[in-house]
Structure 1
Amino acid sequence: MFRAKVNRNLSFLSTNSSRTTTTHGQHYQYLQCSKLPTLYFQRSLPRLPIPLLENTCQRFLAAVQPLLTPQEHGRTQQVVEQFRQGIGMELHAKLKAHDAENKHTSYISQPWFDMYLADRAPLPLNYNPLLVMKSDTRPEYQQQVVRATNVIISSLRFWRSLQADLLEPEVYHMNAKKSDTASYRRWMKVAPKAFATYASYAFKAFPLDMSQYNRLFGTSRIPRLGKDELVQSPESKHILVMRRGHMYAVNVLDSSGYIESPSVILGRLKAVLRLDSEREAAAVPLGVLTASQRDEWAKSRANFVLNPKNADLLQSEVDAALFCVCLDAEEDGIYNENSQEPLLKHLLAGKAQNRWFDKSISLLISADGTTAINFEHSWGDGVAVLRYFNELYKDTLQQPFVSTETVHTPAEGDFGNVRPINFEFDEVTKSAVEQAYAKNAAIVDSLDMHLLRYSHLNKLTCKQYGLSPDSIIQLSFQLAHRQAFDGYVGSYESCSTSAFRHGRTETMRPCTTATRDFCEAVLQPARSKPSAGELRAMIDKCSKVHGQLTKEAAMGQGFDRHLFALRQTAQREGLPIPELYETDAYQRINNNIISTSTLGSDALLAGSFGPVVKNGFGIGYSIQNEFAGAIVTTYKQQAEGKLFIDSLESAFDKICAVIKESSSSSSGNKENK
C-alpha cells in the first residue's frame, strides 16, 4: 500500500572517491528540505473512529464462520447477541466516554503500547522483525565499513531533517503524478493547519500520522518486572557500535549537533575495527541478555546496575545511543543468493552475541556489506520504519558520501570520540549471559525457514489479468494450508490505520467464506470441479471481499481492535471478562496459525519475522516485477514449514492455471461471437 518510488537515475554519481561536501551546509546536514513542515498535517488528522458495536459483532461472526461448524457458529451467535445487548453495550459506552476525554490521541494507542510492553516473551522471533536491504551493485560502495558509514550518514540526515521539521510529510498519494507535485504543495501551504488534511483529500492525497517518528532514534526499551518502559534521548550525539560482542560509543554529531564529516565518521568506524582486531571476541557478550525473557532480563539488569560504573555506562552510552550498528564478522555469514536461509536466520535472531535488541533501530551490516534493519516493535509500526528504510536505500544509492577510495581521518587513540564500553562483570551476570545464550541458541536452532520464489505470478501478470496482487497471495496461503493440513485456521494480515491521529494497526482476516468456497471448489475431483470461468468468478469474489475488508480495516472499521479495547475497558473498570472472550470462536480466530505481513518496497531484498504462535507460520511476502516471494518461518516439531511451502507452490500453480484457462476461454468466446 505504501510503496516507495526509488529514483534509479544514478548518472550524476561520481565513480571516484567521496563527494565533495560542505559538512555544515544544508545539502549535507539534511536529507530533505520540505516546503511543508514535517508535522504540517498532524493537527488536522481525523480521530480514529470507534466502530458501532452492532457492526463489530456482525464482522466478528462473519470472520469466525469459516473456522466453525454450523452448530458451533450457531452457539457463537447466541453468545455474541447476549454480549451486544448486555455487557457489550455498557463497555462500549465506557470506551466512548474514555475516548471523549482523551481527544489528543486514539482509543487504541495507549492500550497497544501497554500490550507490547507488558508481554514477557523474548523480543527476537516474537516481536522484532527483519528488513534486508538490496545491496549496492557497485563494489566500491558495498564494502562493509564503507556501507556502514554511508547508512549512518543517511540515517543522521533523515534524523536531522525530522528534528528540523524539514522531512517531507508522510502522504499516501492515490495518483502521485497528479498530487505529488509542486502545485499540490503550494495549495497545501495556504490551507489553514486546522483543515489541511481535508484540503489534501481533495487531491486524493491522504496524510498519515507521524507521531511515531520521534521514537525512531534515541529510544530504548528498558526491561522492568511486569512491564517494560521506553526511554528517549533525542539530543544524543553518539551511536552504539557492536563488533564480536564488544560495545563502543562512537560520536557522529559534533558539539553543536552537526553531522561529522564523512571522512571523520569513516575513520572512527575504522578505529573500532582496529581496536576490535587487537583483542579476542567478548568473553561476556552482554547483548545476549536482550534476547532473554523480559522478566529474566529485568532481574539481570537490576543486579548488573548495582555497580555504579555499569549503571552509568549502560544509561549514558547504550540506552542513550541514537541507534545501534552491528558490524558482523565473516564467521557470522554473508549473503548467498542460492542459500539465503542461514544469513536471514542469523539477521533475524542469530546468536545474539553482537546484538542489542532493545534499541528502537539496529542496523546490521554483514562482512560482505549486506545491510538489514532489526527493530524493536513496541514504539511503532511498519509505516515509520518503512519510510526510513526506503529513504536510507535511496540516499545511499544516489548520494554515497564515502567509497573505498575515500581518505579517512584517523581516529586511533581518540577515546573521547571512540569509547570502548568496558563493563565490570560479576559472577551473577556471567552466569545470566551463559544461560541466556543457551536458551536463545536453542530457540533459534528450533526455527525453520523456507523460501519460495515463484516467477509465474508477478506484478505484470496481476495487471495483465486484472487481479489484486495481495488478494491472490492471501488466497494462495489459504489454499496451501487447506491442501497440506485439511482445514482452515486463524489468519492474520496487518493493515495500517495511520490515516488517523495516533492510529496503529488493524487486523484483516483473510480467511473468509469466499476463500473457503474457492478452496473447496478447486480441490474437487475433475468430474465435479466447476469450470475455469466459474472458478475465476469465485477468485474475483474473493478479491472483492478481501478488498472490502482491507478498506474497512484501513478506515478503522475492523473488529479486532474494538473487541480488544472493550476487553481492556472491562479490566480497567474492574468488571468481569465477558463470556464472548472465552468462546472457542474467539480463541480460535486469535490463535493466528497463519500470520502474514507484506512490505511494498523497491528497496527490500527480504523481510522476515517469527511465528506468532508455537504451531504457526510466520509469512513475510511480496510481489515484485519478476516474481511473487514468500519467506516462511516455523518451529521444528511444531509446524511443517517445508510441507506448507511446497503446498504454496502447488496453490500458485492451481490458481495461475485457473486464471490462464479462464482468460483463454473468455478470449475464445469473444472471437466466436
Structure 2
Amino acid sequence: MLRVPRSNFVFLRGKTTRASSGEDYQYLQRTRIPMLHFQPSLPRLPIPALEKTCERYLAAQKPLLIDEAFRKTNDNVDRFMTTTGPKLQELLKQKDSQNKHTSYISEPWFDMYLRDRVPLPINYNPLLMMNPDPRPEYNNQLVRTTNLVISSLRFMNSLRAQLLEPEVFHLNPAKSDTDRFRTITSLTPSIISTYVAYAFKAFPLDMSQYQGLFGATRIPETDKDRIYRTEKSKHVLVIRNGNMYSVDVMDETGNIEQPATLLARFKHVLEDNRPPNETPLSLLTTENRDTWAEIRYHLHENGNEKALLDVDSALFCICLDNSKIDPDQPIPMIRDFLLGDGTNRWFDKSFSLIVAKDGTAGVNFEHSWGDGVAVLRYFQEIYKETTNAPFVHPELEPKDANASGDVVKLIEFKLDSKIRDGIIAAQNHHNAIIDSLDMNYIKYNGINKNICKQKKISPDSVMQLGFQLAFYKQHGQFVATYESCSTAAFRHGRTETMRPCTSATKEFCEAIERKQNPHSMNDLRQMMDKCSTIHGQLTKEAAMGQGFDRHLFGLRHTAQLNDIPLPCIFEDPAYAAINRNILSTSTLSSPALLAGGFGPVVKDGYGIGYNIQDGFLGCVITSYKPERNGSDFVECLRSAYDDIANVLNSSKPSGK
C-alpha cells in the first residue's frame, strides 16, 4: 500500500479521502534511489555464441519436423556454420560494439514494428483489464475515471521528474525489497550499482521505454510509421460516442488540476447530449497503415492540422464506453476492450484508458514503443492507489472555476467525400475482422499456483504443457509455439522468444494420448518433471538473452543491411514454419489484473493470454473463424488439464 503521511487525509461525511493541496498531490512517488540510478550499469544484451544458437534452433525444430525434413534443416545449419554464419556474426558484433548505448536488437525490432502495414487492433495492440474497485460506490464511471486520471498524472509527473522508484525484480522480496537495500544501493556509484543489487538477488530492469508512455502517438506514414512525442501537453484526449474532446488536466503552471475540477470536466463530457458521431474518424486507426497514412496526409492538407495535433499531443487517451460487464460471461467486455467496433478508440495512442458505464476499466496499448513491463508497472500503480487511497470520493461535489468551453473542447474535423469514403471502408474492413474473430475463455479450478507448489512443479510449465496437449488432442500434431519472455534486465532489452514445444513435451503428449497406454502414473510424472526442468532452463536462457530467435533475426537483418545473399538457413521452409507461431502465448501476473488478451499472430493460429493464480488458472483464447475452432480448443484444453491434474494427483515427483 502507498505510504502517505496522515496529514494527507481529511474526513468527508464520515468517509476518508485524500487532501490535494501542496506538492505531495503532484507526485505518486518520491524515490530514495534515483529513478535511473541503475541504468548506466545495466549489462548489455549479449550476442549468443553462434554454435549455441544453432544448437538451440535445431532442438526447437526437432519436435516439429519429420525425420527427412529435420535432416535437411540440420544440413542447412551445418552449411551456415561453416560458410556465411561466422561472417554475419562478426558483422553483427562490430555494429554492436559501435552502439554501446543500446542493444543489438533494439533498432531492427523498432523497425520491424513500424514497417508492418497490418492494422493495429488484434494484430498488435494488447489489452489489460483491471479488477474492479472492491468498494462498489467507487466503480461509478465518473468517479473511477477521475481517480484513474489523477493517479495516471501523478505517475507521469513522478516519471518526468525522475521520482519513480527504479523498476527492480526482487527474487526474494523479503530480503531485498527493504530499506537496507535502498540505502546501500542509493549510496553506491551508478556505474556499479546494478552489480551491488545482484548481491541482494535483486535485478534492476531497463527503464528506457517509460518515456513512451505519455504524450506519444504512432503516426501512420507510407512504408514506415513514426512515433511522435511531446512533453508540453496539458490535455488528455477523451472519446465518447465517437466524439473526441480535448480536456485540460494540468493548469497553466503545469500542476495537476484539483480533484473537484477534474470531476467537473469529465462530468461535462459524460453529460454532453451530443448524438453519437456518424462519421467517427477513429475508425481510420483500424485500417491498413498505408491506407490510413494516405488519408491522414489528405486530412492534414485540408485544414485539420490543429485537430490532429490535439489528438497526437494528448497525454493519453480516455475512452468512455457505454457497455457493462457480466461477471459470469466476461468475454463480450474483454472483446470490446480489445477491438471494440472502432468508433470509440484511437488505437495509435501510446495507450488508451478505457472506462465502461459500470466502471470496468482497462488499458489498450500500442506495441511498437514498448513491451508489457512499462505498461504493467503503470497499470499496477494506478490500480493500487485508486483502490487504497483515491482522491475522489463518491460524495465529492464537482467544481470548476473555468468555463467548460475553455477547458473541455470538442475536437472537430473538416471531412470531405474522400475522408468519409475512407471511414466507411475502414468500418467495413473492421466489421469483417470483428465477425471473423472468435474469443473464448477457460477458468479451471483443478490446478492452481498453490497446487503446483505442493506438487513441486513449475506453474508456467504446467500451463504451457496444457496448450501443447490440447492442440495435440485437437489436431494430432505439434506446431510452432511462442512464449514471450522479457529481456528488460539488459539495457534496451525488449523480448526473447521462449519455445515451449520441446521433444520432452512431445513425448509426454504422445504417451498420455496413447490408447493402450503402457505408462504408469509415475512414468508420466517423470516425463512431466522433465518437461518442467527443460522449460525452466529455456526460460532462464531466454531471460538472459540466450535464446536463438532474436539472434537469428539479428543475423538475417545484418545480411540484408550488407547486401549479402540470404544464407540457406533462412531460405529453409522450416525457418519460415517455426516463425509462423500457431500458438502465440503470453502471461502477466498482477493483483490488479482481471484478464489480458491479444489476437492470433497468424490467420490459422491461437492467441492465448493466460494467468495462473492461487485458486485457479485462466486463459483468454482468440482465433479466426473458420480457420480454427476456438470453442473446441477450449474443450481440448479442459481435457488436457484434467489429464495433467490426474497425473499430479496420482504420482510423486521424480526421485521421491
Whether the TM-score (by the shorter chain) exceeds 0.5 is yes
Task: Give 3-state SS (helix, strand or coil) of 1:538's partner.
Answer: helix
The 5 A counterparts of 1:39-438 are: 39-275=36-272, 277=273, 279-308=274-303, 310-315=304-309, 317-329=310-322, 333-410=323-400, 413-438=403-428
Task: Give 3-state SS (helix, strand or coil) of 1:514's partner.
Answer: helix
- Deviation of the 1:15 alpha carbon: 8.0
Q: Structure 2: which amino acid aligns with 1:419?
A: K
Partner Cα separation in structure 1 for residue 145 and residue 163 of structure 2: 24
RMSD between aligned residues: 1.7
Q: Structure 2: which amino acid aligns with 1:561?
A: R
> Residues 131 and 604 of structure 1 are in contact (CA less than 8 Å); yes or no, is this contact kept in structure 2?
yes
Q: TM-score, normalised by structure 2?
A: 0.97
Partner Cα separation in structure 2 for residue 479 and residue 255 of structure 1: 59
Q: Give per-residue Cα distances to partners, 1:74-118, cap 9 Å, x unaligned.
A: 111110010111111111110000000000000000100000000
Query: What is aligned with 1:501?
Result: 491
Q: Structure 2: which amino acid aligns with 1:29?
A: Q
Q: Do residues 553 (structure 1) and 542 (structure 2) align?
A: yes
- Deviation of the 1:6 alpha carbon: 9.4
- Deviation of the 1:257 alpha carbon: 1.1
**Residue 588 of structure 2: which of 585, 589, 599 is its match?**
599
Query: What is aligned with 1:440?
Result: 430
Q: Structure 2: which amino acid aligns with 1:305?
A: H
> Residues 438 and 623 of structure 2 are in contact (CA less than 8 Å); yes or no, is this contact kept in structure 1?
yes
Partner Cα separation in structure 2 for residue 209 and residue 285 of structure 1: 38
Instruction: Extract unaligned runs of 5+ from structure 1.
Output: none
Instruction: Extract unaligned runs of 5+ from structure 2.
Output: none
Q: Structure 1: which amino acid aligns with 2:498?
A: M
Query: What is aligned with 2:468?
Result: 478
Task: Give 3-state SS (helix, strand or coil) of 2:101's partner.
Answer: coil
Deviates more, 1:403-412 or 1:571-580: 403-412
Q: Structure 1: which amino acid aligns with 2:279?
A: V
- Deviation of the 1:422 alpha carbon: 1.2
- Deviation of the 1:414 alpha carbon: 2.4
Q: Structure 2: which amino acid aligns with 1:282?
A: N
Partner Cα separation in structure 2 for residue 394 and residue 203 of structure 1: 26
Q: Structure 2: which amino acid aligns with 1:439?
A: H
Partner Cα separation in structure 1 for residue 20 and residue 543 of structure 2: 44
- Deviation of the 1:602 alpha carbon: 1.0
> Residues 603 and 627 of structure 2 are in contact (CA less than 8 Å); yes or no, is this contact kept in structure 1?
yes
> Residues 23 and 259 of structure 1 are in contact (CA less than 8 Å); yes or no, is this contact kept in structure 2?
no
Query: What is aligned with 2:19?
Result: 21
Quickly say closer, same or farther: Cα 1:411–1:369, change in 2 above 3 A.
farther
> Residues 20 and 259 of structure 2 are in contact (CA less than 8 Å); yes or no, is this contact kept in structure 1?
no
Q: Structure 2: which amino acid aligns with 1:420?
A: L
Q: Give per-residue Cα distances to partners, 1:188-213, cap 9 Å, x unaligned.
A: 12111100000110000000000000
Q: Give per-residue Cα distances to partners, 1:293-341, cap 9 Å, x unaligned.
A: 1000001101111123x112211x1000000000012xxx211112111
Instruction: Write out the 4+ residue segments of structure 1 that deviate beyond 3 Å after TM superposition.
Output: 12-18, 410-413
Task: Give 3-state SS (helix, strand or coil) of 2:385's partner.
Answer: helix
> Residues 411 and 418 of structure 1 are in contact (CA less than 8 Å); yes or no, is this contact kept in structure 2?
no
> Residues 23 and 260 of structure 1 are in contact (CA less than 8 Å); yes or no, is this contact kept in structure 2?
no
Q: Do residues 465 (structure 1) and 455 (structure 2) align?
A: yes
Q: Structure 1: which amino acid aligns with 2:355?
A: I
Partner Cα separation in structure 1 for residue 414 and residue 574 of structure 2: 52
How many residue pairs match? The answer is 651
- Deviation of the 1:412 alpha carbon: 8.2
Task: Give 3-state SS (helix, strand or coil) of 2:301's partner.
Answer: coil
> Residues 10 and 16 of structure 2 are in contact (CA less than 8 Å); yes or no, is this contact kept in structure 1?
no
Q: Structure 1: which amino acid aligns with 2:525?
A: R
Partner Cα separation in structure 2 for residue 338 and residue 521 of structure 1: 36
Q: Give per-residue Cα distances to partners, 1:427-450, cap 9 Å, x unaligned.
A: 111110011011101101111011
Quickly say closer, same or farther: Cα 1:63–1:6, change in 2 above 3 A.
farther
> Residues 18 and 390 of structure 2 are in contact (CA less than 8 Å); yes or no, is this contact kept in structure 1?
no
> Residues 10 and 19 of structure 2 are in contact (CA less than 8 Å); yes or no, is this contact kept in structure 1?
no
> Residues 352 and 364 of structure 2 are in contact (CA less than 8 Å); yes or no, is this contact kept in structure 1?
yes
Quickly say closer, same or farther: Cα 1:55–1:505, change in 2 above 3 A.
same
Q: Structure 2: which amino acid aligns with 1:628?
A: L
- Deviation of the 1:640 alpha carbon: 1.1
